[in-house]
Structure 1
Amino acid sequence: METLMYPSAPVLSESEVLVPPATAQQQPTHRLLHILWELRYSGAEVMVYDAKEYFESRGLQGAILARGPEFGPYAPTLARAGYPVEHLPARRNLGSFIELYRYLRQHPADVVHLHLEGLFIWHCLAIRLAFPKARIVHTHHDVYFQYGPYLRLKRTFHRWLATHVLDVRHVAIGESVQTVEKEHFRNPTTIVYNWIDENEFRPPTPEQAAAARQEIGIAPDAFVVLTVGTCNDKKCHNEIFDAVARVKDRLPNLVFLHRGTGENLPQERAYVQKLGIEQHVIFLNYIDYLPKVFWASDGFIFSSHWEGLGNVILQAIACKVPVILYQGWGMNDFRPENPAENYGFWINPDTERFDEALLEMYAMKQDGRLEDWRDKAFAFYRKKFSAKKSLTRMADQYLL
């Protein structure tokens, strides 16, 4: 078992957004254990990172246990933030969960937050045996509509067992996840929207936007569309590359800004060369301050056909960036009910391509209409999402 521990360091700057009421600071300390799979730079891990200071102010002292086959590249970041971070790989046998039970008995917790889907019920059983009185919270971070009949039936039973026998609370990160859990697994959930660090992801000043472009090497008059995400089959980045290849001659100053790494990155680079669009694509494997890529962009394009609730889309609209998304689970959670509040395109993946949306968004930039969409994107973020509200709701799941 691997362990990472660093001295505690401040994670968030002081902000009204994340400061709880003074009465909450007087509560006794509760030990909170987060159980995740591999620790990667993705939604759940980043939210745990961002929430540390707030949860501590509510009397929740956190630790992290990674259960994936690999520790994960984000483990040192979480450890430097002050979390005790340990790695105990899960295996599909009884001995692995006896090992987990023994670990838990040696590391008492008052609250355990499960963030994983795989081997979920066995984790719940081990936790409840180790901690008969602990609060167990399970967040469903994705939509699992793709399960076949047998697996769906099995997972339905597991969710029922967790709720009615093991007293597990179920949390959904958005309406899509809540709907799938209810319709496919008969599993009622409480929505706690994903949160982002609003001190970091915010609308830029004109000077910040210009400086971001200059640092990345983008011309001031370029039309920039951005995607942020892991390079894997689910993200379907080649569908964006294909659209760039088709419209590049009609948008000569088009730049597709691609921030992400993953197993498909070499193939994606090769595909860009094959299409002959190297001058229109910028791959950013790393950038020291992620909000800058949003500040440099005119639009955010996302090619996943489904998500739970994409944190990168939250980050985009919090930075006043309009969107081009597919219709589908997760993406529809960002679509305003009132058409007058619209700030982007929602494309039917079965019948439409990104081309027309890119061309229209370019035209909107040229005639000034895109500024209205920028304002509406930020207004929608503020209307529906709030780090303060989400963190409060999650802490209430732990404590109340």
Structure 2
Amino acid sequence: MKVLHILYELKYSGAEIMYVDAAPAFQDRGFELTVMGTAPNLGEYAPHFRNAGYGVVHKPYPKGLNVHKIKYYREFIQFLKKSNFDVIHIHVHEFMWTLAFCTWIAGKRPIYTFHSIFLSHSYSYLYHILKRWTAKNILGCRFQSISDSVCDHELTYYHNKTKKVYNWYGENRFFPAQEEEKQRIREEMNISAEALVLITIGICNEVKRHCDIIKALPYIMKEYPSLLYLHLGEGYTEDEEKELAVELGVNRNIRFCGNQTDVRKFLVASDIYLMTSKHEGISITTIEAMACGIPAILYDVPGLRDFNKTGENCCLIPEDYSVLAEKVIELHANPEVSARLSANARELVNNTYHMKKNVSEIIKLYTQ
């Protein structure tokens, strides 16, 4: 079976990493895989797709309302027919309906994944309901959601029933530190053995709210002066975050590490993982941190509260940087609590976000 994944820019992020990790699991089941980038830039992660055995195609989607889009649709339909794809798996929300329509015209099977929680303005609410209903009931598009929060949101907000298939992580790449590995990695990274190390992983934008973490640092440093914050990721609010760090006098306690490929090394060097997002679909970096045995403090928001189903998998806190500071201090001062959360979190991700189990569910979506 031939599957085409349609994404925007191929970046080192969620869905891209997940489907590269899972390539052997699909290929072992006889799937031939292709990925198509629709952004102006193909993206730095394209070589990883090629190395995993994907065919890589770049077809930038035209902007605005113009005749170039009609040409694009016609050429895209011809491409689908000529390439003999069986399933077109769409991951781009903005283009969902039009690409599903082209897929339907080409006589192929469209699948769309809701990767996040999408809200609409009051004036466009019925329009978005109509798009979902027509895509599903007329174009035959099958809908998948990646988490409890996304599935529940689509059902309650848009009255749209989806097939829930959880995201997964690369278990061969993310696992707890071996004996003395943490100490060795800290030495390599020139991090003191006594330092309290916090870590975040993700794009810099208003949704992630990294500024909340930076605002919490002065309070934490009163208890732990050797604090170090490892900040992995880039984005349009990065300059603002750096300016805030200087203003608060904590810039020497932050390493802005940019995008990294060996994320596990940074996780293993850390003591506590933080995520302060306004909302998430489901956070793959949180799954990866938990798989590495790093205790997590998360804001109590949709997509993050999914990680605390039993109440003992992470620390869920109100959206307040002063509370964040207090919880970091409390958690680091209680290693037995930290160890219990880490063990429960690892059990959660191994049971819920296991690659082979969830790849099998995606395959059912393709074939049934």
Which TM-score band applies after superposition, normalised by the shorter structure?
Answer: over 0.9
1:235-314 superposed matches below 5 A: 235-314=208-287
Asked if the contact 1:50–1:196 (Cα under 8 Å) also holds between the matched residues in 2, the reply is: yes
Task: Give the secondary structure class of the aligned counterpart of 2:144.
Answer: strand
- Choose which of 370, 375, 398 in structure 1 pairs with 2:338: 370
Deviation, 1:180, is 0.9
Corresponding residue of 1:33 = 4
Is 1:233 aligned to residue 206 of structure 2?
A: yes
Task: Give the partner amino acid of 1:344.
Answer: C
Tell me the distance in 1 between the aligned counterparts of 2:20 and 2:78. 26
Tell me the distance in 2 between the aligned counterparts of 1:217 and 1:343. 30
| % identical aligned pairs | 30
Point out the more displaced range, 378-387 or 322-331: 378-387
TM-aligned CA distance change 1:223 to 1:351, over 3 Å: closer
Corresponding residue of 1:5 = none
Corresponding residue of 1:3 = none
Is 1:354 aligned to residue 330 of structure 2?
A: no
Tell me the distance in 2 between the aligned counterparts of 1:350 and 1:214. 33
Asked if the contact 2:228–2:254 (Cα under 8 Å) also holds between the matched residues in 1, the reply is: yes
Corresponding residue of 2:178 = 205
Deviation, 1:260, is 1.1
Asked if the contact 2:25–2:356 (Cα under 8 Å) also holds between the matched residues in 1, the reply is: no
Tell me the distance in 1 between the aligned counterparts of 2:48 and 2:346. 29
Deviation, 1:155, is 1.5
Is 1:100 aligned to residue 71 of structure 2?
A: no
Asked if the contact 2:4–2:34 (Cα under 8 Å) also holds between the matched residues in 1, the reply is: yes
Corresponding residue of 2:315 = 345
Tell me the distance in 2 between the aligned counterparts of 1:302 and 1:141. 17
1:132-281 superposed matches below 5 A: 132=107, 134-144=108-118, 146-281=119-254
Corresponding residue of 2:104 = 128
Tell me the distance in 2 between the aligned counterparts of 1:210 and 1:357. 24
Q: Deviation string for 1:318-361 (max 9, x for gaps)?
A: 11111111111100110123x3xx14321221696311111111
Asked if the contact 2:307–2:314 (Cα under 8 Å) also holds between the matched residues in 1, the reply is: no
- Cα RMSD, aligned residues only: 1.7
TM-aligned CA distance change 1:350 to 1:291, over 3 Å: closer
Deviation, 1:110, is 0.7
Deviation, 1:286, is 4.6
Tell me the distance in 1 between the aligned counterparts of 2:146 and 2:105. 27
Tell me the distance in 1 between the aligned counterparts of 2:259 and 2:16. 18
Deviation, 1:246, is 2.6
Tell me the distance in 2 between the aligned counterparts of 1:332 and 1:250. 28
Task: Give the secondary structure class of the aligned counterpart of 1:109.
Answer: coil
Asked if the contact 1:137–1:169 (Cα under 8 Å) also holds between the matched residues in 2, the reply is: yes
Point out the more displaced range, 390-399 or 256-265: 256-265
Tell me the distance in 1 between the aligned counterparts of 2:160 and 2:6. 21
Deviation, 1:373, is 2.3
- Choose which of 338, 359, 363 in structure 2 pairs with 1:391: 359
Asked if the contact 1:58–1:395 (Cα under 8 Å) also holds between the matched residues in 2, the reply is: no
Corresponding residue of 1:88 = 59
Task: Give the partner amino acid of 1:349.
Answer: E
Task: Give the secondary structure class of the aligned counterpart of 1:284.
Answer: strand
Tell me the distance in 2 between the aligned counterparts of 1:350 and 1:264. 19
Q: Deviation string for 1:47-103 (max 9, x for gaps)?
A: 121111111111110011111232222122222332211111112443332232222
Q: Deviation string for 1:109-139 (max 9, x for gaps)?
A: 0111111100211100101111x2x332111
Task: Give the partner amino acid of 2:229.
Answer: F
Asked if the contact 1:294–1:319 (Cα under 8 Å) also holds between the matched residues in 2, the reply is: yes
Deviation, 1:202, is 0.8
Asked if the contact 1:196–1:387 (Cα under 8 Å) also holds between the matched residues in 2, the reply is: yes
Task: Give the partner amino acid of 1:396.
Answer: K
Task: Give the partner amino acid of 1:32.
Answer: V
TM-score (norm 2): 0.94
